[in-house]
Structure 1
Amino acid sequence: ILWSLHEQTGLEENYCRNPDGDEKGPWCYTTDPDTRFDYCNIPECEVDCMHCNGENYRGVVATTASGLECQRWDSQQPHSHGYLPENFPEKHLKENYCRNPDGELRPWCFTTSPDKRWEYCDIPRCSESDFQTSSSQSGRGEDYRGTIAVTESGNTCQHWSSQSPHSHSRTPENYPCR
């Protein structure tokens, strides 16, 4: 079981991946000798669940675990804070949605209650099967594990374990968890 789980989390087959955290998202080397690599058109998703501590959660829950409404991230009322969306574009601090921009235990938000500065949100955890079969991406797509193997321009992706037609160092052995 460990082997099969590991196999599903890395650079298997010729599926689009983002092993180096490229801000444009998942990509692959192509089978076209004239096009070394290209980005893949993976739809952005607003997930309904979170993985790990929810740092990549991009859902639209906007109330805390106790039912308080979340304060907008671009607002300083009723609580002033330093998590301005323009200063943290990679954290997706949109609207008043629960997020985890600082590595807390789970997503949270500042509340609209003057008496409660912030509170955790109640976001369900994703099952392992949700994670492995996702057909959409969140953030830069580093966690994308779907099976799209064609780039935006229509090129077929080269297998990650292949060195032809393009040689590279992003092999399953060098990037076991990507």
Structure 2
Amino acid sequence: MKQIILTILIAFAWVLPAKAIELGVPFDNIDGGELRISQWAGQPVLVVNTASRCGYTNQYAQLQSLYDRYRDQGLVVLAVPSNDFRQELATEAEVKEFCEVQFGLDIPMTGITSVKGKDAHPFYRSLRSEVGFTPRWNFNKVLIAPDGQVAKTFGAKTKPLSRSITSEIENLLAGS
């Protein structure tokens, strides 16, 4: 009897939905309009909370290089400027100009968005509640798999072109 119950429980676990990360709630697009992570369904998306006055701001150059390297294969890199750690410029226009002039950024970018606490965007609230992830600083990275699940999270110190990130992206792009 125990074997039958165990078999049923294991089978049932496979049909339970995975933890749902909120991908459909819009972010303001820094260029106007809206962006939704769900618009890139079927593609890996690296979501990075950013800030223009942070010691890690030079990671913008690697984010652009990462995007350039893998975009034709389907990778999206989404920058989410945030002032939660008090290191972002005052306006979205200033952020956009800074990123374009200093780094030649053409990756998708949201407007200035809260990523932690009670005012966090629903995507970040769902990351906290479903997988226990909250950005602890600027340039934390969340890799969303093509199926919409969180593949992996990375801290601020993990550089965008590090092997730990590129190998995860390559695995997702290869369908593994």
TM more than 0.5: no
Structure with more contact order per residue of length (Cα contacts < 8 Å, sep ≥ 6): 1
TM-score band by shorter chain is: under 0.3
More strand by share: 2
Normalised by the length of structure 2, the TM-score is 0.24
Greater Rg over alpha carbons, structure: 1
More helix by share: 2
